[in-house]
Amino acid sequence: PGVGVLAVRKGTRWESPWPADERESGRTPGVVNLPAVVAAAASLRAAAADAAAEATRLAALVDRIRERVAAEVPDVEVVGDPVLRLPHLVTFSCLYVDGEALLHALDRRGFAVSSGSSCTSSTLRPSHVLEAMGVLSHGNVRVSLHRETTGADVERFLTELPGIVAGLRAEAGVVGL
């Protein structure tokens, strides 16, 4: 508590939002909380040290989602490049399924997923990013894996998803896919 880290590219003009005084070259008022700064630096080092291993672990889980969703759920489009992507994100679009209904059904089963692209998550407008990619901007699911996501979590998601999608399609009168 009491310290934050702001990375500013060298050469970038930056003006502190706080009133300046003669200490710390006018960057911050008052005395720096040195123990908190050292703790923040140690935390940053620790997070950076295992970032590559965590990215590899999550990328393997995303690969599993990409492969199984495409193979086991009819009329689904997995979005994005299979290799040149963020290691923890996967988006797929389900034809003939209302996106909000799918999100709610997944939520009822304990899966916290999103829809659209993250850059439009605070609006009700369709994702301009997904539209620019030429994919469905409705009926899609964005799965963001995190440090505590396990292989068992992904397996449960992959086991339940086909039935959830089939059930929603049946409710909408879309059968025989």
What one-character-per-residue DSSP string does 63-87 give? HHHHHHHHHHSSSEEEES-SSSS-T
- Could you give the CA distance from residue 149 to residue 57 in angstroms, rounded to a whole number? 10
136, exposed or middle or buried, with CB in 10 Å at 0-12, 13-18, 19+?
buried
Task: Identify the active-site residue in 119, 132, 170, 177.
Answer: 119
Other C-beta atoms lying within 10 Å of the C-beta of residue 145: 22
Q: Catalytic site residue 94? A: no
Fill in the amino acid letter for 107: D
Other C-beta atoms lying within 10 Å of the C-beta of residue 110: 10
Residues 37-60 as b/e (b if ≥16 CB within 10 A, e otherwise) read eeeeeeeeeeeeeeeeeeeebbbe
- Could you give the CA distance from residue 126 to residue 118 in angstroms, rounded to a whole number? 11
Give catalytic residue positions. 119
